[in-house]
Amino acid sequence: EGDEDSGIGVATKTRTKTQRPSLYRVLLLNDDYTPMEFVIAVLQQVFHKSQEEAVTITMHVHNNGVGECGVFPYEVAETKVTRVMDAARKHQHPLQCVMEKQ
């Protein structure tokens, strides 16, 4: 016959910090050879931009050297960079697309 449980407990609570997915900014880089129309088409097809948004971003990259296409979780960003780079290689354009942790 053991000791009786007093029935009095100590409340404990585990507070796990919420794991927010790291976000990555996808950037297009300017070059002297990729046609404007190709960049505009990529922005519409890969990043679901409207024609107007795509033109604005393309001109921004053309004038400033770099511009943001969007911010995504790691795997989504990686897939979009790959799609852009595959399309550029297929058409033999030197267009560069990169991602950076936000």
Binding site for ligand TYC (CB under 6 A): 28-32, 34-36, 39, 58, 61-62, 95
Nearest distance, CB of residue 59 and ligand TYC, angstroms? 8
**Cβ atoms within 10 A of the Cβ of 77, count?**
24
Alpha carbons 57 and 31: distance in angstroms, whole number = 14
Residue in the structure block whose two tokens are 């297929």: 90
By beta-carbon proximity to ligand TYC, the closer residue of 67 and 72 is: 67
By beta-carbon proximity to ligand TYC, the closer residue of 30 and 56 is: 30
By beta-carbon proximity to ligand TYC, the closer residue of 34 and 72 is: 34
Nearest distance, CB of residue 46 and ligand TYC, angstroms? 12
Name the packing angle between helices 36-47 and 74-90 (round to 10°). Answer: 150
Beta-ladder partners of 50: none
**Cβ atoms within 10 A of the Cβ of 72, count?**
20
Beta-ladder partners of 67: 28
Nearest distance, CB of residue 63 and ligand TYC, angstroms? 9
By beta-carbon proximity to ligand TYC, the closer residue of 21 and 85 is: 85
